[in-house]
Structure 1
Amino acid sequence: MGGALSRTGLSSGKSKYHSSKSLTGKTVIITGANTGIGFQTAVDLAKRNGRIILACRNDEKGEAAKSRIIQLTGNKSVVFRHLDVSLMSSVRSFADIVRKEEKGVDILINNAAVVNWNEVVTPEGLEETFATNYYGPFLLSKLLIDMLEKSSEGRIVNVGSIASLGGSVDGDTVWVHKGFTRGGYNDSKLALLLFTKELARRTAHTNILVSYVHPGTVTSELFRNLPWILQFIITFVMRPFLKTPLEGAQSILFCALDDAIQTGGYYMDCSLYDHSKWVPNSAYDKELSKKLWRTTERIITEIDSG
């Protein structure tokens, strides 16, 4: 059973997604689920009696989130597994654990993200923003495709951003060798959107539905690496215009649960926004998407080979 929208505010941005869909017997993976919209999404899905895997890089916070969600929902099938999505070695280790422990995966929600004000390079040589927001979700989705194909209705939900509208992507380097710029977040979210479109085309023959969702601008820890003055402006000055984590989670839940989801679709406020003014034209550049895919695979292979 799908769901319906209930308007709890004056704008569609304040919509609440209602669905009676049960996840009994289903397995869900949510990256970055220890806080913010990831946590709120996990709470809702845990209430539906699914097996919820919280994939987080901070072990202490991950275990605390697991305990809290079990306390809130009574669902004891909530587990924490370590995953630093910015490290491809960690992504591979996590995928190996999933393969050993799970019979299949029904829903993968690539939620973890970072915004950096200064350059941070991972031990594997990737710029951290791109590694977290793009490379990690790319590799994790690829590694778990066969697990998702075992599901009668497998889903991959890529949590993106309207910031992709201001992004640009070089299909030859995918930022691995470029100098750091503060527009890297926008670019990483555009890369994730291009990946969503291409993955949807490549899995069109399967039961997997792939979607990209802008949850809205949410009060969360996403901005923790910005200068304090920007954090102050976002937290206090812009607060009336921002969503709470619970409100931001609604569109993610819509993409994870609703029967109306179209594979490859861009969603915002629990609605399909494809070909709207909020979606960059480059999102529909199939050649760029293919080039981006090939380059990303090459770079990840280079990391694996050391």
Structure 2
Amino acid sequence: MYLLFGCGVYVCLYLYLKLKKGKCNSKKTLEGKTIVITGANTGIGFETALDLAKRNGRIILACRNAQKGEEAKNKIVQLTGNTSVVFRQVDVSLMSSVKSFVDVIRREENKVDILINNAGIVVQNKIMTEEGLELTFATNHFGPFLLSTLLLDLLRKSKGRIVNVGSAASVIGKVDCDNLRAEKGYSQLQYHNSKTATLLFTKELARRETDVTICCVHPGTVRTNVFRHMPLPVKILISTVFRVLTRSPSEGAQPVLFCALDDSIRTGGYYMDCRLCDHSLWVPKSAYDVGLAKKLWETTEKILAEC
């Protein structure tokens, strides 16, 4: 009896989550458009790049690992026939690498139409980069902030769009502007905190920038290698017991594609399941703290000036 009840609950939960998943139905083509996607060699980034390549855009796969980046490029070209897919190396956790990447883009491109800040990381313990930044915030906040602001002039030329891949984990995150480099200690909620910073950055840039649309999107809990640095038991739970609650990379790419392509996107908006979710229970109250967002921006600029 209990087994039947449990199975029934499982099936209902599975069907509910399946029906709730949003899908990007845009038929838009991207001929003549240039799209930059970080972390595009695997997971959500790869599936997003694959879809956009099918729309005949010029796709720049911005990845840390050169071998995996080239392999992803070759696979996408093979699957789509789009030869305007290129790999350019960047490690978004290193600000020097971001700057070098932007120099390359400036030399090769006369505009950027869409920037998708997809690369992200989850780590359990405190790791410092060679530039003195804590790895989680370096990858999830400082790198996307620097990349976005350095590419603004190219994005303005096309009245382009920035899509920041966030997370519903931000709902319990907190941002302490005096602890962005883990100076006062490392939190086990560092990933959550970094994604709250993503929301604050999105909304502050939207207030400052009039020629570029910027939004943030939660793709769902997706079975990707973002959890590669977590303990083995956690990875096993996500891939087995919690599988019903997670999405495939192609499903996770749908909200990202919606934000990249749909004409209804509101600058500064936060999206889930291909719909605007601002002011929902999933949005932390701090996301609307204009003073905190401004302080985060100014503190981030100050820290980046030291890198």
After superposition, what is the alpha-carbon deviation per residue over 1:236-269, rounded to whole angstroms, capped at 9, x for unaligned? 1111111100000000000000010000000000
Is residue 2:172 matched to residue 1:166? yes
* Contact 1:173–1:295 (CA under 8 A) maintained in structure 2: no
Partners of 2:144 and 2:164 in 1: how far apart?
Answer: 8
What is the Cα deviation at residue 157 of structure 1?
A: 0.2
Of residues 61, 67, 70 in structure 1, which corresponds to 2:74? 67
What is the Cα deviation at residue 13 of structure 1?
A: 3.7
Structure 1 or 2, whichever has the larger Rg, is 2
* Contact 1:156–1:210 (CA under 8 A) maintained in structure 2: yes
Runs of 4+ in 1 over 6 A off after TM superposition: none
Structure 1 unmatched ranges of 5 or more: 1-8
* Contact 1:172–1:292 (CA under 8 A) maintained in structure 2: no
Is residue 2:240 matched to residue 1:214? no
Is residue 2:302 matched to residue 1:295? no
Is residue 2:126 matched to residue 1:124? no
Q: How does 1:1-306 map to 2 (within 5 A)?
A: 10=16, 11-151=18-158, 153-203=159-209, 205-206=210-211, 208-303=212-307
What is the Cα deviation at residue 14 of structure 1?
A: 2.7
What is the Cα deviation at residue 176 of structure 1?
A: 4.5
Letter in 2 for 1:229: P
Percent of counterpart pairs with the same letter?
62
After superposition, what is the alpha-carbon deviation per residue over 1:58-107, rounded to whole angstroms, capped at 9, x for unaligned? 00000000000001111000000000000000000000100000010000
What is the Cα deviation at residue 182 of structure 1?
A: 1.6
* Contact 1:33–1:62 (CA under 8 A) maintained in structure 2: yes
After TM superposition, the score normalised by the length of structure 2 is 0.93
Considering only aligned residues, what root-mean-square deviation do their CA atoms show, in Å? 1.0
What is the Cα deviation at residue 276 of structure 1?
A: 0.7
Task: Specify the alignment match of 1:3 in structure 2.
Answer: none
Task: Specify the alignment match of 1:6 in structure 2.
Answer: none
* Contact 2:171–2:282 (CA under 8 A) maintained in structure 1: yes
* Contact 1:172–1:291 (CA under 8 A) maintained in structure 2: no
After TM superposition, the score normalised by the length of structure 1 is 0.94
Partners of 1:172 and 1:180 in 2: how far apart?
Answer: 12
What is the Cα deviation at residue 120 of structure 1?
A: 1.2
After superposition, what is the alpha-carbon deviation per residue over 1:145-174, rounded to whole angstroms, capped at 9, x for unaligned? 0000000x4000000000001110012342
Partners of 2:136 and 2:213 in 1: how far apart?
Answer: 26
Task: Specify the alignment match of 2:4 in structure 1.
Answer: none
* Contact 2:215–2:259 (CA under 8 A) maintained in structure 1: yes
> Secondary structure, in 3 states, of the residue corresponding to 2:306?
helix
